[in-house]
């Protein structure tokens, strides 16, 4: 091949190796589907909503208190993830896991300039996820009064157990789609690599491009039917025994 490759050359390479590309794409999709549906453990999600809302003596919420409540959310997020809260949750639910492992299951989401934030827990057991996230929110609401000497936390929405909960992970359709793209790209990459490593001369264009020599003539490649006809004619022209494989 030349040092540079044109778009037409790239298309020809892909057309020549299309079976390899299709094979790798289908294989990646099938493997991803099997793993997603039969081997990966489903993960379920449960969440609660917390409101940070402290009123002044006149029972009115002014702008300064609003900004103070919003600013407290980052502090509250750190408190929720601390051993002070999670150790009590583990003891209350008699969980057989550490604070660190429980922390890895939990996520806290908040929006800018909002007094509401969410506690999210993901677990392989849907009912367990609901119990854990409700226990975390309830324990936090109780303990923050003594930790911060404030009473401005309300639970807006508790997690509820569903009859047929749907897992959030894995997502088979998404996984298969990603696998198809990866398989296709891998097939195309291998196709170009094989073509780069192939230094044989395939046609007169390769001879001109690589060797810089003119081509005086070419021999047409015979198809299987033409080969069979040629062998049969040769066999009929030979007297005596005829041996045709």
pLDDT in tens, 184-233: 999 999 999 998 887 776 666 666 666 666 766 666 666 777 767 776 77
Report the candidate in 113, 111, 108 with the shortest Cα–Cα distance to residue 69: 113
pLDDT tens for each residue of 78-101: 999 999 999 999 999 999 999 999
pTM, entire model = 0.68
Distance, CA of 219 to chain centre? 51
Helix (H, G, I), strand (E, B) or coil at 118: strand
């Amino acid at each position: 091949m030349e040092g540079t490759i044109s778009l037409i050359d790239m298309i020809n390479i892909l057309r020549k190796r299309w079976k390899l590309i299709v094979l790798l794409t289908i294989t990646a999709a099938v493997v991803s589907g099997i793993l997603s549906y039969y081997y990966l453990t489903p993960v379920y999600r449960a969440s609660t909503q917390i409101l940070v809302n402290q009123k002044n003596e006149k029972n009115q919420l002014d702008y300064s208190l609003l900004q103070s409540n919003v600013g407290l959310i980052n502090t509250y997020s750190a408190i929720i993830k601390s051993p002070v809260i999670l150790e009590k949750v583990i003891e209350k639910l008699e969980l057989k896991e550490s604070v660190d492992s429980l922390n890895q299951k939990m996520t806290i989401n908040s929006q800018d300039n909002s007094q509401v934030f969410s506690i999210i827990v993901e677990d392989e057991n849907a009912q367990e996820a609901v119990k854990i996230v409700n226990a975390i929110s309830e324990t936090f609401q109780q303990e923050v009064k003594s930790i911060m000497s404030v009473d401005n936390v309300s639970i807006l929405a508790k997690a509820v157990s569903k009859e047929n909960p749907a897992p959030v992970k894995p997502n088979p359709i998404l996984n298969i789609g990603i696998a198809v793209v990866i398989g296709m790209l891998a097939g195309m990459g291998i196709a170009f690599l094989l073509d780069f490593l192939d230094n044989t001369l395939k046609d007169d264009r390769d001879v001109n491009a690589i060797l810089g020599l003119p081509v005086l003539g070419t021999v047409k490649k015979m198809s299987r039917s033409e080969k069979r006809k040629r062998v049969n004619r040769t066999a009929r022209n030979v007297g005596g025994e005829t041996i045709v494989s």
